[in-house]
Structure 1
Amino acid sequence: MTMSDAEKGGFISKVIGPKRRWRQYKARREQLPESYRTAVEAIERYMMHFVPTDGDSNASMFEDLANLFEQAAADATPIREIVGEDPVEFVEAFVQNYSEGGYVPARARKQLTDAITRATGEGTGKED
């Protein structure tokens, strides 16, 4: 059984599309100022491990995350104004637009919170 051209096009876009979007997202992430990039990478890690979604939802979610942090960096908005005092709560609210959510262990929540604290320079005297 062979695929029609239409089926091949749909299959290829499913395989290549999200990969291309992912590479574009990563390039955008790398252009962020260091503290914003660190925060985005922490949020990304958290979402990759604990947020079940499909490829298209993931791509949209990460693109929107990049948009949010690019705009915040352009406006010099402090990271804490974006994520608030509880970055876990921020991420869980953020991803509700893209998935049904999932179980997130306390350890992962602490890792995210600690990473955002490091990204903002809190406790080091070097705040963004």
Structure 2
Amino acid sequence: MSDAEKSGFLAKVIGPKRRWRQYKARVRQLPPNYRTAVEAIERYMMHFVPTDGDSDASRFEDLADLFEQAAADGMPIREIVGQDPVEFAEAFVQNYTEGGYVPTRARKHLTDAITRAAGEDTGKEDTTV
């Protein structure tokens, strides 16, 4: 294996992992309600296939960019995701993947998590995400 092939291989192995850690560090810096929303959208998007390290990394970095800017501008979560967070997430993902499968349970979980993050009452006692 040539040096160029080795460095390309290492970039594929290490690159996405490093980018993932950087993304997670950025999310941890968000205000709690924005962090909750991003983490809920992240979980929802994890159900999509096929996955591609570079495409996935870009998708999550762009999600962090969006929420960082919105938090800096004081934009309410509902102005970011709208009234249907499933529709938002699916439209967001379409920019990065050719399709995927998202179970109904994941859609409901995302909707409930965004409702909580936006400070809206869900009528449930349990507020864990």
Match of 1:106 in 2: 104
Of 89, 92, 102, the match for 1:91? 89
Q: Let me know the Cα RMSD of the aligned residues.
A: 1.0
Q: Percent of aligned pairs with the same residue?
A: 84
Kept in 1, the 8 Å contact 2:47–2:101? The answer is no
Aligned length: 122
Between 88-97 and 43-52, report the one with greater CA deviation: 43-52
Match of 2:126 in 1: none
Kept in 1, the 8 Å contact 2:47–2:100? The answer is no
Match of 1:42 in 2: 40
- TM superposition shift of 1:53: 2.2
Kept in 2, the 8 Å contact 1:29–1:66? The answer is yes
The TM-score, its normalising length taken from structure 1, stands at 0.92
What stretches of structure 2 of length at least 5 have no aligned partner?
Answer: 123-129
The TM-score, its normalising length taken from structure 2, stands at 0.91
Of 5, 12, 18, the match for 2:10? 12
Match of 1:58 in 2: 56
Structure 1 CA distance for aligned equivalents of residues 48 and 120 of structure 2: 25
Structure 2 CA distance for aligned equivalents of residues 70 and 52 of structure 1: 27
**Runs of 4+ with deviation above 4 angstroms:** none
- TM superposition shift of 1:51: 4.4
What stretches of structure 1 of length at least 5 have no aligned partner?
Answer: none
Q: 1:35 to 1:51 in 2, by over 3 A?
A: farther
